[in-house]
Amino acid sequence: MPKQLHRNINYLRVSVTDRCNLRCIYCMPKEGLSLLGHNDILRYEEILRVVRAAMPEGITKVRLTGGEPLARKGLAEFISTLTGLKGLTDISLTTNGILLADHAEAIYQAGIRRINISLDSLNPERYRTITRGGSLETVLRGIRKAAEVGFSPIKINIVLMKGTNDDEILDFAKATLRWPYQVRFIEMMPIGRDNTEAVTEYLSNDVALDRIGRMFKLDYLGENGAPENRGPARRYRIEGAKGEIGFISPISHEFCDNCNRLRLTADGHLRACLLSDDEIDLKPELRSGCSDEVLKALIRKAIASKPAGKSTLPGDPSPKKCRRQMSAIGG
């Protein structure tokens, strides 16, 4: 397994589409983004080829994301092919949950078990405002359905924004008393947005932890995963709660040194770092009938190009000039 600076690069995040049925204020401009044409997006067979080629290079975990992955036709069939690959130990999905009630059964049957659902407010009006039109009730129905069909773990992701949803920190924390899910606060990253709102809206997760800690007795559960392969969430549980609270803090507590991820964009670019526009375009090779060896060499090149850590992001919430928006990278 290739190691980079004592990290195992074993996790591939795949954006299966740049399209989305929401327009979250921190992720996309109001007018949306100019979308890729169908021919620009990797076909499922092409994604599968990349995953297959990445496995001997150390990839064992794949997360499907987007845009909104459930908005792409044929996702359940694609998941079945992925879950049939021996050697992948973990296949998961990140979704906004709007289409989840309709698709939960099929994607569970296809073999996926772990799901992350983005939910930035428990207030219907506010949810509509943040997502520019989404229905909270529809997402809650999706979460209930996911639990009913057996998804576990279910993680609920909240991007915190000062003055927008930070007054709900305690409401989300309290929800873990009855929800057997991991509720995770994520610091807003100032990626790709062509404005400066991100600076004023940024809220350190230390503030959230402090507010929750004043109200509830919290047990520290540690970080996700084994030490050499650690996920970025620091986890806690309110005494007696059914669920957990996690903090993902890329700005106040950077975790670049431990980053084990590669990203494949919907248009077939491999990206070694969320914050760097250095990418390797796999599409021309894929479409000119390249050999698996060529593909593997490009994957090794991406792995080798992974920065040592300590990006410019930690402690600095000012907007970065990434060429791509978060919806195009996949989060």
Where do contacts with ligand SF4 occur on this chain (CB under 6 A)? 20, 22-24, 27-28, 66-68, 96, 118, 327
Q: How far is the CB of 107 from ligand SAM (least distance, A)?
A: 14
Position among 25, 33, 112, 188 found at the interface with ligand SAM (CB under 6 A): 188
- Cβ contact 282:48 at 8 Å: no
Number of residues that bind ligand SAM (CB under 6 A): 20
Residue 155 to residue 245: CA distance in whole angstroms: 10
- Does position 100 interact with ligand SAM (CB under 6 A)? The reply is no
Asked if residue 227 has a cis previous peptide bond (ω within 30° of 0), the answer is no
Position among 4, 17, 95, 249 found at the interface with ligand SAM (CB under 6 A): 95
Binding to ligand SAM by CB under 6 A, coded x per residue (else -) over 41-60, reads --------------------
- Cβ contact 279:159 at 8 Å: no
35 contact, one of ligand SAM, ligand SF4, none, CB 5-8 Å limit per kind = none
Cβ proximity to ligand SF4, 14 vs 27, nearer residue: 27
- Cβ contact 303:58 at 8 Å: yes
Q: How far is the CB of 142 from ligand SF4 (least distance, A)?
A: 12
Q: How far is the CB of 275 from ligand SF4 (least distance, A)?
A: 17
Q: How far is the CB of 30 from ligand SF4 (least distance, A)?
A: 11
- The token pair at 232 is 């970025």
Helix, strand or coil, per DSSP, at residue 220: strand
* 117: nearest Cα among 54, 186, 25, 41: 186
Helices (H), ranges, the chain: 44-54, 75-83, 100-109, 124-131, 136-149, 169-178, 197-201, 205-215, 283-287, 292-304, 326-329
Cβ proximity to ligand SF4, 132 vs 287, nearer residue: 132
Cβ proximity to ligand SAM, 309 vs 319, nearer residue: 319
Residue with the CB atom nearest ligand SAM in the bound state = 331
Q: How far is the CB of 27 from ligand SAM (least distance, A)?
A: 4
For residues 120-179, which are near ligand SAM according to CB under 6 A? 157, 159
Cβ proximity to ligand SF4, 184 vs 237, nearer residue: 184
- Does position 327 interact with ligand SAM (CB under 6 A)? The reply is yes
Q: What is the helix (H) or strand (E) element at residue 28, kind and residue range?
A: none
Q: Phi/psi of residue 103, each to 5°?
A: -110, -10
- Cβ contact 92:63 at 8 Å: yes
Residue 285 to residue 180: CA distance in whole angstroms: 45
- Does position 14 interact with ligand SAM (CB under 6 A)? The reply is no
191 contact, one of ligand SAM, ligand SF4, none, CB 5-8 Å limit per kind = ligand SAM
Q: Compute CA 6 distance to the chain's CA centroid, rounded to the nearest angstrom.
A: 23
Tell me the one-letter amino acid at 17: T
- Does position 94 interact with ligand SAM (CB under 6 A)? The reply is yes
- Name the residues that contact ligand SAM, by CB under 6 A: 20, 26-27, 65-66, 68, 94-96, 118, 157, 159, 186, 188-189, 191, 326-327, 330-331
